[in-house]
Amino acid sequence: MVVAAGLLLTATVAFFALSIPYAVAPSRRLLSLAQLYVALITNCGLFLGLSSLDSRTVSRVFLSIAVLILVVATLEVHFGLRPFVDAIRSLIHQEYYRDTARDLQLYGAVRPTVFASEPSLVGIFWGLSLCGWLLADTDRWGFRRLVVAALLTAAAIFVIRSPTIFYAVAICVIGLIVHGLRRSANPGVRLAKSALLFACFVVTTTSTSLLMHAGDEFGGVIEDIVKGDSFYSRQIGPHRLASSMADTSPFFGFGLGGDAEMAPYVMDAFSPVIENMIAGANAADVDSVPGMAINFSEGKTSHLLTNSFWQFWISFGILGGAVVAALVALALANLGVSEIGFVLLGATLMGQTMGGVVIAPAWTPLFVIAALTIGWTNARPAGTGKSARSASRRPVIG
Q: Express each pLDDT in 172-204 by its tens digit.
A: 999 999 998 887 878 888 899 999 999 999 999
Contact 231, 239 (CB under 8 A): no
Confidence band for 41, pLDDT divided at 50, 70 and 90: confident
Contact 395, 48 (CB under 8 A): yes
Instruction: In whole angstroms, give the CA distance from residue 379 to residue 136.
Output: 11
Q: Express each pLDDT in 355-394 by its tens digit.
A: 888 889 999 999 999 999 998 865 444 444 444 444 445 4
Instruction: In whole angstroms, give the CA distance from residue 217 to residue 95.
Output: 39
Residue 279 has pLDDT above 90, yes or no: no
Contact 292, 277 (CB under 8 A): yes
Confidence band for 158, pLDDT divided at 50, 70 and 90: very high
pTM (two decimals): 0.85
Instruction: In whole angstroms, give the CA distance from residue 281 to residue 275.
Output: 10
Instruction: In whole angstroms, give the CA distance from residue 233 to residue 263.
Output: 15
Instruction: In whole angstroms, give the CA distance from residue 164 to residue 243.
Output: 24
Residue 289: alpha-carbon gap to chain centroid: 23
Which position has the higher pLDDT, 27 or 171? 171
Contact 239, 209 (CB under 8 A): yes
Torsion from C-alpha of 372, 376, 381, 387, nearest 10 degrees: -60
Confidence band for 284, pLDDT divided at 50, 70 and 90: very low
Give, in degrees to the nearest 5, the angle at Cα 94 between 93 and 99.
Answer: 80
Q: Which of 146-150, 265-269, 293-297, 313-317 has the lowest mean pLDDT?
A: 293-297
Residue 106 neighbours by CB distance under 10 Å: 18
Contact 104, 344 (CB under 8 A): no
Residue 284 backbone phi and psi in degrees, to 5: -70, -25
Q: Which has the closest alpha carbon to 82: 113, 58, 108?
A: 113
Q: Express each pLDDT in 206-222 by its tens digit.
A: 888 887 777 777 766 67
**What value does the CA radius of gyration of the chain take, rounded to a whole number of Å?**
21
Residue 198: alpha-carbon gap to chain centroid: 19
Amino acid code (one letter) for 236: I
Residue-level pLDDT at 183: 77
